[in-house]
Amino acid sequence: MSAPPPRPSLRSRLESAQTTVTAEVGPPRGADPGVIRRKVEALRGWVDAVNITDSQSAHVRLSSWAGSILALAAGVEPVMQVTCRDRNRIALQSDLLSAGALGIPNVLLMTGDHPRFGDHPDAKPVFDLDSVQLVWTARTMRDEGRLLSGRKLDPPPSWLIGAVENPFAPPAGFRAARLGKKVAAGAEFVQTQFVFDVPAFARWMAGVRDLGLDARCKVLAGVGPVRSLRALEYMRGNIPGLWIPDEVSRRLHGVPPGRVADEGLTICAEIIQQVLQIPGVSGVHVMAPGFERGIPEILARAGLARAEVGSGYAD
């Protein structure tokens, strides 16, 4: 027996004064639909929507639109990620139109990692559009009912449009203004890079508020656990624009090896509590690649457990 279809929750939650929670789900490197079902079912009732990644880090995975359909069937609202890396403007608009036709209610639009970082480094990158141009394209399709060519859409799609931003990439003073470009293009919510340096994130949010962007675009702070010292070193050395303060490193190195993962969850929960106190932050986006099953525990530690978990959005 299939799960009941999810109630449209992300849009309404973002429009309310309640804390919004989204989580990232990585599709499998294989053709087993059960992987997606199991991951999203573990999150049902805990989050307002799940991001289905689009060949994240330029590695071949089950497609984001297929994962989004599987999430819908499991009763969890999806956010379909779409990158510019692999498609020209014809294919991008076709995929966006198809998402609308299939009932996928949210899209998250980004430039995407270069193929040289992935499992097919010799693949030809496309990048016909960049993320700002793709957001503008999606808004034009939805609000003006036309393609980039000028041809009319009948009917147009109606999804919620999201974007991503990295508050910590240099030059730091430019990052709020860069979000402004995406908001002007049509972004209605934004999910950020991992936040480990809360004061630096607070400074970025001050710039966002100074530009009035928080009144036009909902900000979801990206958070996630560091579950091993090996993961810590990888994240510090291999993810562009990611800054992990020395204090986080000291805490993880300061516990016995068998407690590093638990300490990582505790740190993540503390960061969630801290970023939610920053004016203009509407919620959090939890990223735990390969550890989606642990997201409910992180949320519970952060005080974000919801009533009647598993039966819907009760709070």
Distance separating alpha carbons of residues 138 and 75, to the nearest angstrom: 25
Q: Which residues touch 88 (CB under 8 Å, ≥6 apart)?
A: 126, 128
From residue 144, alpha-carbon distances to 83, 139, 140, 150, 152 in Å are 22, 8, 5, 10, 9
3-class state of residue 131 by DSSP? helix
| Residue at token pair 């530009």 | 211
Phi and psi torsions of 47, nearest 5°: -125, 165
The encoded tokens of residue 118 equal 């992935």
CA angle 32, 36, 37 (to 5 degrees): 100
pLDDT band at 1 (very low <50, low <70, confident <90, very high): very low
Distance separating alpha carbons of residues 135 and 52, to the nearest angstrom: 18
Show the domains of the chain with their CATH numbers.
Answer: 10-224+278-300 (3.20.20.220)
Give yes or no for a contact between 278 and 206, defined as CB atoms under 8 angstroms apart: no
Cis peptide before 171 (omega within 30 of 0): yes
From residue 187, alpha-carbon distances to 67, 76, 109, 135, 191 in Å are 23, 22, 9, 6, 11
pLDDT band at 303 (very low <50, low <70, confident <90, very high): very high
| Residue at token pair 């970082």 | 117
Give yes or no for a contact between 168 and 182, defined as CB atoms under 8 angstroms apart: no
Residue 290, phi-psi category: left (phi > 0), alpha (psi -120 to 50), beta (remainder): left
Phi and psi torsions of 28, nearest 5°: -80, 160
What is the structure's pLDDT at 209? 98
Q: CA nearest 200: which of 167, 248, 233, 237?
A: 167
The yes-or-no verdict on residue 48 having pLDDT over 60 is yes
Write the pLDDT tens digit of every residue in 217-274: 999 999 999 999 999 999 988 777 788 999 999 999 999 999 999 999 999 999 999 9
* Average pLDDT for 133-160: 97
* Weakest mean pLDDT among 1-15, 64-78, 160-174, 289-303: 1-15
| Residue at token pair 């990439």 | 169
Distance separating alpha carbons of residues 60 and 227, to the nearest angstrom: 24
Q: What is the pTM of this model?
A: 0.93
Which ranges constitute the DSSP H helices of 165-259? 175-185, 198-210, 229-238, 246-253
Taken in order 3, 7, 11, 15, is the CA torsion positive or negative? negative
180 CA to centre of own chain: 18
Write the pLDDT tens digit of every residue in 213-232: 999 999 999 999 999 999 99
Distance separating alpha carbons of residues 121 and 111, to the nearest angstrom: 17
Write the pLDDT tens digit of every residue in 58-115: 788 999 999 999 999 999 999 999 999 999 999 999 999 999 999 999 999 999 888 7
The yes-or-no verdict on residue 3 having pLDDT over 70 is no
